[in-house]
A and B are shown apart, each in its own frame.
Chain A
Amino acid sequence: MKKVLVATMLALAVASLYAGGKSEQAPQTQSGLAWVEDGTLHGLPLVNPLKVSGNIITAGSSTVYPLSERMAERFKEEGYGGLITIDSIGSGAGFERFTVAGETDIANASRAIKTKEMDAAKAIGRTPIQFRVGTDALAVVVSKQNTFAKNVTKDELAKLFSTAATWKDVNPAWPNEPIQRFIPGTDSGTFDYFAEEVFASNPEPLLSAKNLQLSEDDNILVQGIKGSPYAVGFFGYAYYAENEAALNILSINGVEAVKENVDNNTYPLARPLFLYSDAQVMRTKSQVAAFIDFYLSYVNEEIVKVGYFPASESDLDTGRKLWLEAMQGTY
């Protein structure tokens, strides 16, 4: 029996050693990173996904999620053989995992990092680097069955998502029916952004509203809004684009959420989408640097398909420069 025990323990020890060794990044050779190809694109070195190994862990905004998923898919299609995790848990929770626990390599965010989160990151020795990857036009949507609402002013928007009990309270021309609200959960960047834009950063009126459903899962919101002509909600544009057949998007102050208005900054609810990482993480886990490089190089070819709007070339370039600074001397 003892023999069996000893043998089992030995086997376990060997297995754990092996697993540990495997999960750790193979040390980089002096000559540089294996996946870097000759030549550059937009100033960044070309990535060969076939030669990228090791896993990548990302978490954060449910708005950025479809975009990151798309980029990860393309990364894999072009040969990346590792595992890439993308958790859709809200920007706040994404930052928490990145800055407090330090368990993720990339934080996806639909808002800029807060000072508090920056400090938390410093406390664990990380310095978040911001990469702008695109622009979202936050979509305020109603069901296709809703025939009366087409446009809201920003004042009406504030009433619609706080004190008004019925649609008539918002606009006398609308029916006297209770409003059903479906909004992203309190830790989502979309929630924060909406509170900031519409309620001057005070979440209280938004949360005190009656008939309120909160969810971090935008598909639950879509289901709810589809279900009634008197339902209303908001989320990232991609979820509207995906459910265009069942939903109507409202224009804000008479401005429609179309590329032109997002580009020239007239759509009032346009907002930036970001990835955050850290130079140390990118250097020690070079697959992370490779993925971000790949992301920044090709995001504009994919972003429209997902349903968002391209960031300006200069914003993307700022990110690319930061990437080069972070990776200086490693390849």
Chain B
Amino acid sequence: MVCGLFSSIKVLHMMHNVTKHPFGKKHRPHEVVIETLLFLFALFSILITLGIAIILIRESFLFFSDPKVDLIGFLTGKVWQPMIGLFGFLPLLNATLTTSIIAMLLGLPLGLFVAIYLSEYASDRVRGFLKPTLEVLAGIPTIVYGYFALTFMTPMLRSLFGESRVEIYNTASAGLVIGILVLPMIATMAEDAITSVPKELRLAAYALGGTSIETTFKVVIPAALSGLSATFLLALSRAIGETMVVALAAGAGPNLTANPFRAAETITGYIVRISGGDVSYNSVDYNSIFALGLVLFVITFTLNLISRKISNIFHQEYD
């Protein structure tokens, strides 16, 4: 394929040499070809997104058209046990929110401080060392994070707070590890947001006699706030969609609880458990995972849209 593309470009190049348009950009047939090709590639990714959405909607329609399922019960019910006809998805949503909020509580301040340090204080040498380290953190497979949660974070929490208080599978451990997992993402994006604050603002703050701490926290951070909010929302949607960590460490049974030291299954955790091959293809349990997938899709899609809106506002401010 790539080979074919190359040779066709070559052929077009030769044609171009023959026809000779010394200055003109107008009559280059290969430009059109390449543009069309690139457009098709872009279109392809849109089509994939559309395809996923269509399949999710179609399959979840199967679920909601089941006589045992009603939308209101789905959205407000407090017990999720499809096998015996209980379809309240609140326990799953609750667990997803618990792990994500814990992740944000850890990941956001940490990521933000890393970003501030990297953009405002770090010398080039320290930066050159810190940045690649962060990138390594971002490159670790999430299953490794999952076992890290189960075999390191959970025992640590249990020895800190007592074995009787912390269950072996719990949302706190999973949440903290997701926090570490989104840390590099937050740090990188927040750093971009902070460095794109115009230099004039900083200089003006210094000129008015601000110390560097005052400049950072009273001028630069507020100026970068919309970019930082967008970062936060994207990281949140990443945390909500995170799967491997919660599947391993958060628990394998739906449980409506506010206590992060207890086991509770998240939306993604449930999808993994059911699609792991343990339930018949045409059962309500199986169809329910598409409905849950749709819910996840809607949540993360909305968060991404909001974050785009916010960063648009941000761009308008300084253009």
A89 touches B167 (CB 8 A): no
The B106-153 residues at the A interface (CB cut-off 8 A) are 150
Q: Check if A173 is an interface residue, CB within 8 A of chain B.
A: no
The smallest C-beta distance from A166 to any residue of chain B, in angstroms, reads: 13
The A135-192 residues at the B interface (CB cut-off 8 A) are 180, 185-188
The smallest C-beta distance from B43 to any residue of chain A, in angstroms, reads: 23
Q: Check if B273 is an interface residue, CB within 8 A of chain A.
A: yes
Q: Check if B302 is an interface residue, CB within 8 A of chain A.
A: no
A89 touches B273 (CB 8 A): no
B84 touches A203 (CB 8 A): yes
The smallest C-beta distance from B245 to any residue of chain A, in angstroms, reads: 15
A213 touches B253 (CB 8 A): yes
Among B218-226, B278-286, B307-315, the stretch in contact with A = B278-286
**Which residues on the B side are within 8 Å of A40 (C-beta)?**
none
Q: Check if B239 is an interface residue, CB within 8 A of chain A.
A: no
**Which residues on the A side are within 8 Å of B84 (C-beta)?**
203-204, 207-208
A185 touches B273 (CB 8 A): yes
B81 touches A208 (CB 8 A): yes
A1 touches B278 (CB 8 A): no
Q: Check if A216 is an interface residue, CB within 8 A of chain B.
A: yes
Q: Check if B189 is an interface residue, CB within 8 A of chain A.
A: no
The smallest C-beta distance from B264 to any residue of chain A, in angstroms, reads: 10
Q: Check if A93 is an interface residue, CB within 8 A of chain B.
A: yes
A96 touches B281 (CB 8 A): yes
B278 touches A4 (CB 8 A): no
A227 to B83, CA, bound (A): 27
A211 touches B276 (CB 8 A): no
A212 touches B253 (CB 8 A): yes
B253 touches A188 (CB 8 A): no
Of A4, A5, A96, A231, which is within 8 A of B280 by CB?
A: A96
Q: Check if B104 is an interface residue, CB within 8 A of chain A.
A: no
A207-B83, A227-B168 known; A4-B3 Cβ under 8 A: yes
**Which residues on the A side are within 8 Å of B205 (C-beta)?**
none
The smallest C-beta distance from B248 to any residue of chain A, in angstroms, reads: 9
Of B8, B11, B253, B278, which is within 8 A of A187 by CB?
A: B278
The B152-169 residues at the A interface (CB cut-off 8 A) are 163-164, 167-169
B4 touches A1 (CB 8 A): yes
A90 touches B278 (CB 8 A): yes
**Which residues on the A side are within 8 Å of B81 (C-beta)?**
207-208
The smallest C-beta distance from B71 to any residue of chain A, in angstroms, reads: 22
The B236-271 residues at the A interface (CB cut-off 8 A) are 251-253, 255, 262-263
A188 to B277, CA, bound (A): 11
A89 to B278, CA, bound (A): 5
**Which residues on the A side are within 8 Å of B279 (C-beta)?**
92-93, 185-187
A220 to B278, CA, bound (A): 15
B278 touches A213 (CB 8 A): no
Chain B 158-202 near chain A by CB (<8 Å), digits 1 or 0: 000001100111000000000000000000000000000000000
Q: Check if B7 is an interface residue, CB within 8 A of chain A.
A: yes
Q: Check if A215 is an interface residue, CB within 8 A of chain B.
A: yes
The smallest C-beta distance from A43 to any residue of chain B, in angstroms, reads: 36
A93 to B280, CA, bound (A): 6
A228 to B163, CA, bound (A): 7
A5 touches B4 (CB 8 A): yes
A140 to B183, CA, bound (A): 42
A211 touches B255 (CB 8 A): yes
Q: Check if A317 is an interface residue, CB within 8 A of chain B.
A: no
A203-B83, A213-B251, A213-B252 known; A89-B7 Cβ under 8 A: no
Q: Check if A224 is an interface residue, CB within 8 A of chain B.
A: yes
Chain B 39-64 near chain A by CB (<8 Å), digits 1 or 0: 00000000000000000000000000
B168 touches A214 (CB 8 A): no
The smallest C-beta distance from A180 to any residue of chain B, in angstroms, reads: 7
B83 touches A213 (CB 8 A): no
Q: Check if A87 is an interface residue, CB within 8 A of chain B.
A: yes
A227 touches B167 (CB 8 A): yes
Closest to B83 in A: A186
The smallest C-beta distance from A119 to any residue of chain B, in angstroms, reads: 14
The smallest C-beta distance from A11 to any residue of chain B, in angstroms, reads: 14
Closest to B281 in A: A96
A214 touches B167 (CB 8 A): no
**Which residues on the A side are within 8 Å of B278 (C-beta)?**
89-90, 92-93, 185-188, 216
A92 to B277, CA, bound (A): 10
Q: Check if A223 is an interface residue, CB within 8 A of chain B.
A: yes
Q: Check if A271 is an interface residue, CB within 8 A of chain B.
A: no
The smallest C-beta distance from B135 to any residue of chain A, in angstroms, reads: 32
**Which residues on the B side are within 8 Å of A204 (C-beta)?**
84
Of B7, B262, B273, which is within 8 A of A214 by CB?
A: B273
**Which residues on the A side are within 8 Å of B263 (C-beta)?**
180, 211, 213, 224
The A189-234 residues at the B interface (CB cut-off 8 A) are 203-204, 207-208, 210-216, 220, 223-224, 226-228, 231
29 contacts between A and B (CB under 8 A): A1-B8, A59-B277, A89-B276, A90-B278, A92-B278, A92-B280, A93-B277, A93-B280, A96-B280, A185-B278, A186-B278, A187-B278, A187-B279, A187-B280, A188-B278, A207-B83, A208-B81, A211-B262, A215-B252, A216-B273, A216-B276, A216-B278, A223-B150, A223-B168, A224-B168, A224-B263, A227-B168, A228-B164, A228-B167
Known A187-B280, A204-B84; 14 more pairs at CB < 8 Å:
A4-B7, A96-B281, A100-B280, A185-B279, A186-B285, A187-B279, A203-B84, A207-B81, A212-B255, A215-B252, A216-B277, A223-B168, A226-B168, A228-B163
- Which residues of B are interface residues toward A (Cβ below 8 A)? 3-4, 7-8, 11, 79, 81, 83-84, 150, 163-164, 167-169, 251-253, 255, 262-263, 273, 276-281, 285
